[in-house]
Amino acid sequence: MYNLIGAGLIAIGAGIGLGQIGGKAMEAIARQPEAAGKIQTAMIIIAALLEGFAFAALLLGK
């Protein structure tokens, strides 16, 4: 029961984080479209790091 609540909290946290990353990257690309490639790579790296922590938390809570 509690681990399900924890999983929900992890999903909320990861969702907020991914939203921030994606939103800011979109803004940055809109501002500087010629830097889109670099911004995308940086975005994916940070999203992957966040995802790693989210999954680690999910596994530990299982």
**Chain contacts with other proteins (rule: CB under 8 A):** 41, 44-45, 48-49, 51-53, 55-56, 58-59
- Least Å distance, CB 46 to other proteins, is 11
Which C-beta is closer to other proteins: that of 20 or that of 41? 41
- Least Å distance, CB 2 to other proteins, is 20
Which C-beta is closer to other proteins: that of 18 or that of 58? 58
- Cα four-point dihedral sign 12, 10, 15, 46: positive
